[in-house]
Chain A
Amino acid sequence: MQLDDLNAIAEKEKAAAKKVCLRTCMSAGCMSSQADVINKNLDAEVKARGLEGEVEVRRVGCMGFCGQGPLVGVDHDDGRHELFEFVKPEDAPAIVNSLKGGPCDVQRGDPQHPFFAKQVKIVRANGGIIDPESIEDYIAAGGYQALHQVLTEMKPAEVIEEITKSGLRGRGGAGYPTGLKWGTVAKSPGGKKYVVCNGDEGDPGAFMDRSVLESDPHLVLEGMAIAAYAVGADQGFLYVRAEYPLAISRLQIAIKQAKQLGLLGGGIFETPFIFNVDIRIGAGAFVCGEETALMASVEGKRGTPRPRPPFPAESGLWGCPTLINNVETFANIAPIIGRGADWYASFGTEKSKGTKVFALTGKITNNGLIEVPMGIPLRQIVEEMGGGAPDGRKIKSVQTGGPSGGCIPADFLDTPVDYESLTKLGSIMGSGGMVVMDDTTNMVEIARFYMEFCMDESCGKCIPCRAGTVQMHHLLEKIAQRKATLRDLIKLEELCDMVKNTSLCGLGQTAPNPVLSTLKFFRKEYEDLLQPDQFGPPGNGQPNPQSAPK
């Protein structure tokens, strides 16, 4: 495979394009309500009317408006786009009928709605447009050009320089600068190196990574291959949880296709570069997203974290230097190489560049996946794009960062969404879960929910997290049931402090965050549930009246 061959595939694919295209979302959300039957019916309908010469029926990835699914998009020959929502299999004739101006009462979405209009799509540019199971589609959309460019025109150090210049930070949660991480792995001594893609995505309510894998698997593979070239690795692992069967099967297809075309394997683009990728299926333990636990799991061991240092960049899989990045991080790579670091850095803020994909859910009118430039005010996301809370209710708070994150009260809706601003409010960007809560939400209950999650998902290795989350959950339940006193609240706060500061891995270190942030902004809700203490309030500022001095 050479550049000419790649371009030939793209040309052929474009030449075969038909005037009108019917796109059915074939991602997990829409598939769960019969998108495959809809697609089949559309296809049959087009054929029955002899329209196959001018109308293409295409299976595509997630369009993002999952809450209104199943979705069918229409690209007209005059450049108009239409969107049909809540489509049912029996709607197929009406939709095909409408192509020629026939009547059709299927609910239409508004492609100009802020939900779509305010998005900037880099990672999800192909989502809902190309067929995720067709490598030709991806190539026609410019796929694998960046990999070619890197292999034939750039030295590994130049690739790392470009990624560093782009300002890209890890999208897996902590926001570590990607270029810096790549540089460390590249500089680590060792013949054998690995690249790992973290597709574990265990945060409740999050489905960003799943959707990228389902909608555009080659984008992730291309990013991994570029990373492997930059750091000097020849083997990659894609770690995906078993709950994502569709993502896994599309990745399998993508890997096979890329191998067949010589875009993975040995001698890629007729250069000496070798890169193979294997899929590793995780059993769906949240902690296996933690990088050291993930690596233990890839090695076939019990997925528990180990102390760092040594960091994976130095000693990772089987003791070799290992680069581990999130799905969305890898999905940003090809666009950055293709369009340049400066172009990428022109989106976002000073310290948070580019875009971020969020899974907007909860008490919100429009829920689904959105990709927005960093720094966009939270208000624009929840009020304009999300359409606010349903039934005219008031938004009370927005939870970001999942079980490691916190609740941002509505008073702070003008906060720009970037790493630093969210951290300042006691929450985090996290991997991109965004749960909107309205004024009926009980914040103690929210804290209890996340603590229960952490308690169940704790790996059990270290004591503060294993036993501390159990006690914290117990105290939260006691408070929620109006059985607690101020003493219990103080005990809870002490435990938060201890578990945060002494736990071994990020799970335990961040498990108290939802409690701490709700306590910070909604303390009264906790206090209103407390019983008077028959022994009186604990004395003058002593945090722990009963504990024995040494």
Chain B
Amino acid sequence: MAAKTLTIDGKQISAEEGATILQAATEAGIAIPTLCHLEGVYDVGACRLCIVEVAGIPKLLPACTTRVVEGMDIKTDSERLRKYRRMILELLFAERNHVCAVCVSNGNCELQSLAYSNGMDHVRYEYNFPKWGVDTTHGLFGMDHNRCVLCGRCVRACWHIEGAGTKNVAGRGGKSRIITDLNMPWGEADSCTSCGKCVQSCPTGALFHKGSTVGEMERDRGKLEFIVTAREKKQWVAAD
């Protein structure tokens, strides 16, 4: 495949044809914040944290779904982008009930890390304090809707890696929520194979193993990538 040369943050890099800006940047050691992106499943460009500026294009583009083009000149870290990213994070914190101190994912949460790394030290928007419940009907796992950021990672993992299709999104706008099967308690969802892939994929404390302590909440996302690589490339070695 032909290689493309491009510039990211002033650095000349080469990337494979068909690669996304995110892949090219990651390979070149340039970190772009992401939340809905998950190695192993296709990208949806939903969280908008990875948006970048491309010279000559007035619109901001999501790095995770935009493919590289020869000669692209990309900025991933302008003042404007940093401001937008902080605002997006603030909006997420205001949207549901994130009380890190009492959350199973405290210390192991991508949302929390993103807030730290992007300098979001407080929220200027009014908290919505919605009344979302917790579903603990499944024998092994639980779902706390208060911590869900609707990144859709669990949905994609469930459909495209496990092939069960248990998880989905219902409702719209701020009332969107993750459902199991036809909006039944998780414990009654026949299609669920209890594989736990959704729990592995979740960036926050929304999906958790029942009975785990905060210290045990570390997730092994490499597992998901491993399965996908093994399946698609017949390559049975763990990604490093």
Contacts and interface: CB of A to CB of B under 8 A. Distances in A.
A459 B170 CA distance: 10
Given A466-B174, A467-B92, A461 B48 contact: no
9 contacts: A307-B65, A307-B66, A459-B176, A460-B173, A463-B91, A467-B92, A501-B84, A502-B84, A547-B86
Interface stretch (A17-25, A195-203, A337-345, A469-477): A469-477
Interface residues of A, number: 36
A495 B94 CA distance: 14
Nearest to A458: B173
A456 B88 contact: no
B48 A464 contact: yes
A80 interface: no
A498 B119 contact: no
Nearest to B152: A461
Interface residues of B, number: 41
Contact of B88 (A307, A463, A470, A546): A463
Contacts of A498: 83-84, 87-88
A325 interface: no
Given A458-B172, A466-B150, A471 B45 contact: no
A219 interface: no
A495 B126 CA distance: 13
A491 B91 CA distance: 12
B48 A503 contact: yes
B121 A462 contact: no
A549 interface: yes
A504 interface: yes
Interface of B: 44-48, 51, 59-60, 62, 65-66, 82-84, 86-88, 91-92, 94-95, 118-122, 124-126, 128, 149-150, 152, 168-169, 171-176
A504 B45 contact: yes
B47 A471 contact: no
Nearest to A502: B48
A139 interface: no
Contacts of B149: 463
A503 B168 CA distance: 22
A463 B47 contact: yes
B122 A459 contact: no
Contacts of A287: 172
Given A306-B44, A462-B46, A502-B48, 19 more contacts: A302-B168, A458-B172, A460-B150, A460-B171, A461-B176, A462-B47, A463-B46, A463-B48, A463-B88, A463-B91, A463-B92, A463-B150, A466-B150, A470-B95, A470-B128, A502-B84, A547-B83, A547-B86, A548-B119
A424 interface: no
Interface in A467-501: 467-471, 474, 491, 494-495, 498, 501
A468 B62 contact: no
Contacts of A468: 91
A146 interface: no
A457 interface: yes
A38 interface: no
Nearest to B176: A460
A501 B94 CA distance: 20
Contacts of A503: 48
B104 to A, nearest CB: 22
A504 B47 CA distance: 9
A546 B95 contact: no
A306 B45 contact: yes
Contacts of A549: 119
A474 B126 contact: yes
Q: Which of B46, B66, B92, B176 has the most CB of A within 10 A?
A: B46
A61 B29 CA distance: 64
A455 interface: yes
A491 B124 contact: yes
A460 B174 contact: yes
Nearest to B118: A550
A461 B86 CA distance: 19
B122 A462 contact: no
A470 B62 contact: no
B174 A455 contact: yes
Which residue of A306, A463, A464 has the most chain B CB atoms within 10 A of its CB atom?
A463
A381 interface: no
Contacts of B124: 491, 546-547
B163 to A, nearest CB: 16
Contacts of A461: 44, 46, 150, 152, 176
Most buried by A among B44, B59, B122, B149: B44
A302 B46 contact: no
A285 interface: yes
Given A307-B62, A502-B48, A460 B175 contact: yes
B195 to A, nearest CB: 23
Given A467-B95, A470-B95, A504 B174 contact: no
Contacts of B173: 455-460, 466, 469-470
Contacts of A501: 59-60, 84
A132 B92 CA distance: 50
Contact of A470 (B44, B51, B174): B174
A527 to B, nearest CB: 20
Contacts of A302: 168-169
User: Which of the listed residues B62, B118, B124 has the most CB atoms from chain A within 10 Å of its own CB?
Assistant: B124
Contacts of A550: 82, 118-119
Nearest to B61: A307
A502 B176 contact: no
Closest 4 CB pairs of A and B: A460-B176, A467-B91, A458-B173, A307-B45
Contact of A546 (B60, B122, B169, B174): B122
Contacts of B128: 470
A549 B82 CA distance: 9
Interface in A419-477: 455-464, 466-471, 474
Contacts of B91: 463-464, 467-468, 471
